[in-house]
Chains A and B, each alone.
Chain A
Amino acid sequence: MGVAEIGKAYADKTLSPVELVQALFARIDRLDPQINAFILPDREAALAAARQAEAEIMAGRSRGPLHGIPVGVKDIIDVAGLPTTCHSKILAGNIAAADAHVVALLRRAGAIVMGKLSTWEFAIGGPSFDLPSPPARNPWNPAHHPGGSSSGSGAGLAAGMFPLALGTDTGGSVRNPASACGIVGLKPTYGLVSRRGVFPLSFTMDHVGPMARTAADAAAMLAIIAGYDPADPGSVAGPVQPVTGLDRGVKGLRVGYVRSFHESDMIADPEVAAGLDGVAAALAGQGADIRTVTLPHLREFIAVNRTIQYCEAFAIHGKWLRERPGDYATATRQRLMTGAFIGGADYVQAQRHRLALITAVNTVFQDVDVLLCASAMDPACVIDDQDAIGHTFSRQARMPFNVTGHPALAMMSGLSQSGLPLSVQFVGPAYADARLLQVAAAYEQIAPWRDMRPSLAA
């Protein structure tokens, strides 16, 4: 069930928040031993919150669309009283003193926190087996990875364990699990959603974003979590664009199709490429004006993303890497130590290069309203094949929009022959987040896969 459907059932008194939370925990008990979406389910607190929501709704004191809606929280985001471990031995026993700003906003809106979700270690590692908890797996096929780093968020949504989840995205970590698990993940415009109370990876490029099974649900979550937070240095003051107009369709919308990303910069899997062409054709069939556009080569965006990310991450992790290198998983340690080898001038050159890339993307947006491009170049590979993980890890087109700060949304574009989700990415001008959700909602309506779910979740 989606957010609006649940809200209607609550209003009609055909379902109560307590009944829903109990049913979801029964599902979690049944499925999570295979999926590992949760690091820490918080059953008692969730049931207490559900009872409170139930009493308020029954008394006619509704707090809005998210009242009584269960939400999963990635374990790099603070929930007061619960551990924030970042899926790492380094932070074992680290109890959050306060809610992250986004969690506080969700709770104020009546959402129910279901617990803490699996992540790649410190949102950078990769699916690792040398961590305190096992890595999340893909509900479409548990032998495959679910993407990351917001892996538990994507896997839990696809498995129907909760209707909404919070993820974070520095190099694509909301959109990667959205792509691998066939759900909707939005990296909002940089500065639109507060990062206070979220463990940092790269101050320049960290984003918090909504993850859901539909565009409408992601929109409902964004409407609550977007807004200025003076305690986040990256937060942008100014009016929040209303998250409305999801039903406007795409007629007349100018869609720039970035074929170069997957046709020449990196050659995508043929099924991924066909899926992207299918999305373009479907939108054209609804009246969108599809135009081919070109952006700078993917390798430039990736170089800038990595150089900045590695430097900023080493500034954060240097002390622990010096004192406790053995407490990181191998993949995390290798990536986090990289910043030790990048000089100050190289970091500044990357920041200067970033400005050139922002300018290039903004120039394209003078002629189009939204971009359509690849997210992942391949369907998710087998989780324990390190060679395949290593090969596909970099084969993506999500990093560009962490570098530039533009809003970007990933969603399913179909299923591969092997039954794994394929994906598409939509990108908008700064603060046009609602437009992306509008395009995603329009595509959902005509997508032939719209009612498909993993058989595990049936």
Chain B
Amino acid sequence: MASDDEDWVGMARRAGLHLALEQFPGDVAVAFGNAVAAMADIVPPPDLRAEPWPPMRPVPVR
């Protein structure tokens, strides 16, 4: 996660959002803020080996 303006502009460029940066820079900034806010309350599991969900479920081919 980027920590300052320079980083988020760089992230937006790496994501290919050049046109959005040019035409809607305020919206790109809002999107960055949304991401920071969303992730702030994610709690990684205390067990570092915990599986994400759902696990892969291979389906047998008939």
Q: Do A and B come from one complex?
A: yes
The residues of A with any CB-CB pair to B shorter than 8 Å are: 299-300, 302-304, 306-307, 310, 314, 318, 321-323, 325-326, 330, 333-343, 346, 348-356, 358
With contacts A326-B23, A343-B1, A355-B52 taken as known, whether A335 is within 8 angstroms of B34 at the C-beta atoms is yes
Of the four ranges (under 10, 10 to 19, 20 to 34, 35 or more), the interface on chain B belongs to 20 to 34
CA distance A300 to B1 in the complex (A): 19
Which chain A residue lies CB-closest to B57? A233
Q: Does B58 contact A (CB under 8 A)?
A: no
Contact with A along B4-42 (1 / 0, CB 8 A): 000010011001111110011001101110111111111
Please state if B41 and A341 are interface contacts (CB–CB under 8 Å): no
CA distance A330 to B51 in the complex (A): 37
Please state if B43 and A356 are interface contacts (CB–CB under 8 Å): yes
Contacts of B50 in A (CB 8 A): 352, 355
CA distance A346 to B44 in the complex (A): 9
Please state if B41 and A302 are interface contacts (CB–CB under 8 Å): yes
With contacts A334-B30, A352-B45, A352-B53 taken as known, whether A342 is within 8 angstroms of B40 at the C-beta atoms is no
Which chain B residue lies CB-closest to A302? B41
Please state if A352 and B17 are interface contacts (CB–CB under 8 Å): no
CA distance A343 to B34 in the complex (A): 14
Contacts of A318 in B (CB 8 A): 15-16
With contacts A303-B40, A325-B20, A355-B52 taken as known, whether A342 is within 8 angstroms of B35 at the C-beta atoms is yes
Q: Which 10 A-B pairs have the closest CB atoms?
A: A303-B41, A341-B35, A337-B31, A340-B15, A351-B52, A355-B53, A306-B38, A325-B20, A338-B34, A322-B16
Please state if A337 and B27 are interface contacts (CB–CB under 8 Å): yes
Q: Among A299, A342, A352, which residue has its beta carbon within 8 angstroms of that of B41?
A: A299
Contacts of A337 in B (CB 8 A): 12, 17, 20, 27-28, 31
CA distance A277 to B34 in the complex (A): 34
A313 shortest CB reach to chain B, Å: 11
